[in-house]
Chains A and B, each alone.
Chain A
Amino acid sequence: MTIRRILVANRGEIAVRVIRTAKALGIETVLAVSEADRESLGARLADRTLCIGPPRPGESYLKVETIVHAAAASGCDAIHPGYGFLSERAELARLAEQEDIIFIGPTARQIEAVGDKLRARREAEAAKVPVVPGGAVTDMAEAKALAGQIGVPLLIKAVGGGGGRGMKLVQRLEDLSATANLAAAEAEAAFGDARLYLERYVTHGRHIEVQVLGDGAGRVIHLGERDCSVQRRYQKLIEETPAPGLDETMRERIRAAAVRYAERLQYRGAGTVEFLYDVDRAEFYFLEMNARIQVEHPVTEEVTGIDLVAEQIAIAQGDGLRLEQSDITIQGAAIECRINAEDPARDFAPSPGRITRADWPEGKGIRVDTHIVEGAMVPPYYDSLMAKIIAYGSDRAEAMARLRDAMGQARVEGVATNLRFLADVLADAEFIKGGVDTGYMARFMDRAPKEKA
């Protein structure tokens, strides 16, 4: 079935992004907007806009039934969920299917499979994809045996705990007994459950993820990896591909593991398999799979020349996977910066408001995905992402040089932004060298002169 009209169930830059590809494919778009987004760039670009509710996401963008009704009643044959909001809610995929509307994404069952942490880990083990070594132990003999396999450093967690409570780090195996005894006693006292869980501790980890496409019948290809280790409090700020300084054999092993995982699920559409790369041990572990298009997908598009949204649509309408693995060639390097309406001087507090000036950079190898133009509103109800500035180069050094230049050209007024902050990161020797771990951002902020407001 050929998709002729898509309901875009999202906002911001990703709504604009999806509409752009739909237009290029000759597909009409209906954009579901909240009251706060009636005047957004996406609303201007879409063929039709439907107001689905008040600004709060719970009363608009998160209303499954309203979204499906809006799609059905406006003659849409498909729904694109973007990222965030309802993109990984099995309920939307299921309800759309019941109404004969194509959900541009994986099946409801696949969303459920990857959304459940324990199940996702079991699937990884079944697909022979490494997970962080660890397990529950009931006595000291078991603890010692397992610790011997895991190696140090390792974490001792209370089975009954959660959210990091009752965690203890063991740096030397000879400390295991004492620490485990203490942990068990504390766990007993705190949770009434003395059982312990031992897990390998990764001192220096890199966040490396692999973009995959699946036909839903068991065939999966990868489009290379992305390194998203520059994170502040688990929020990604800068992403790039290829992952710098990674041994080629390791790179291939990580990519192959991602493909195996998605193959096992008979994954349909675009997805991302996330790994933690253990720098000191030179090993990698499965973290989770994201069953959606991701914020940082443009860097992959830049080095492969493939429009991921177009492939999502093709797979969704039953064209299957139009590409073979051998069709994918990764050329050059691409880096993305996320420009947020937030104030680095005030602990990155969100800075909503009216944009009085928005000059986005242009130039060779520069791409800007944004919904922010002069006069646009950054409402306080949603995340603060305003734009993604992406630079492509024949190698990482060229991409970096272009990105630094582009960041210098960007001017946004009316709200506080992290433009300067990111420009400083791009000028930092450790980042320039490449291959930083997830602890990098904290180190950078410690040594950077405190922002003068």
Chain B
Amino acid sequence: MSLTAKDVAEIMRLLEDSHFDRLVLEMDGVKLELERGSTGQRRAPARLAREDAAPAPPEEPARKPKPAAKAREDGLLDVKSPLLGTYYRAPKPGEPPFVEVGDMVEEDTVIGIVEVMKLMNSVRAGVAGEIVEILAPNGELVEHGEVLMRVRPKA
């Protein structure tokens, strides 16, 4: 058997309700490491690595192709997903989203997570300014280059 995204969410909830800070689970060649309190940290909040698969670096895919922010006619900048995956607005189910409309973000502010095969990649704004619109729905598949949110650049 293997873990589904739902299983991982359930395990995360169990960890949250427990008094433990860290959980490492290994089964059938799948290793799941969860850590509490990693909101907005540099490390990915949850990481599920397959030992038989080439492990993708947790941060690199999200950081290397910097979310290309392009100015549009209305002066707003697009924050695009740097990779294809499932987009999550919050670090964990039930927790408040990383950012909301009206929030000010800096270039390195984490604005969401894009999950690829249970590997969580934090996505940074890449631009500084105020979030005016959030387009990508939580828990849905986003494409590489899909606009996640729009930001009014700092004056």
Contacts and interface: CB of A to CB of B under 8 A. Distances in A.
Query: Is B a genuine binding partner of A?
Result: yes
Interface of A: 35, 50-54, 59-60, 64-66, 68-70, 73-74, 91, 94-95, 98-99
Nearest to A67: B84
A35 B145 contact: yes
A69 B145 contact: no
B86 interface: yes
A66 B116 contact: yes
B84 A70 contact: yes
B144 A65 contact: no
B53 A52 contact: no
Given A65-B117, A66-B83, A68-B117, A50 B141 contact: yes
A250 B52 CA distance: 44
12 contacts: A35-B145, A51-B146, A54-B65, A54-B144, A65-B119, A66-B83, A66-B117, A70-B84, A70-B141, A73-B141, A95-B50, A98-B2
Contact of B144 (A35, A73, A74, A91): A35
Contact of B116 (A51, A65, A74, A99): A65
A70 B141 CA distance: 8
Give the one of B119, B144, B146 with max A CB within 10 A: B144
- In the complex, the 6 A-B pairs of residues with the closest C-beta atoms, listed nearest first: A73-B141, A65-B117, A51-B143, A51-B144, A53-B144, A52-B84
Contacts of A98: 2
Contacts of A66: 83-85, 116-117
Nearest to A53: B144
Contacts of B117: 65-66, 68-69, 95
Contacts of A69: 84-86, 115-117
A60 B50 CA distance: 20
A91 B50 CA distance: 11
Chain A interface secondary structure, helix, strand, loop or mixed? helix
Interface of B: 2, 50, 52-54, 56, 65, 83-86, 115-117, 119, 141, 143-146
Contacts of A51: 84, 143-146
Nearest to B81: A51
Contacts of B116: 65-66, 69
Contacts of B2: 98-99
Contacts of A70: 84, 141
B119 to A, nearest CB: 7
A62 to B, nearest CB: 11
A95 B145 CA distance: 25
B83 to A, nearest CB: 7
Contacts of B141: 50, 70, 73-74
Contacts of A95: 50, 53, 117
A33 to B, nearest CB: 9
B144 to A, nearest CB: 5
A35 B119 CA distance: 22
A418 B53 CA distance: 40
B53 A65 contact: yes
A391 B145 CA distance: 41
Nearest to B2: A98
Contacts of A74: 141
A66 B144 CA distance: 10
A91 B84 contact: no
A98 B48 CA distance: 14
Contacts of B85: 66, 69, 73
B86 A91 contact: no
B143 A73 contact: no
A91 B55 CA distance: 12
A64 B53 contact: yes
Nearest to A32: B84
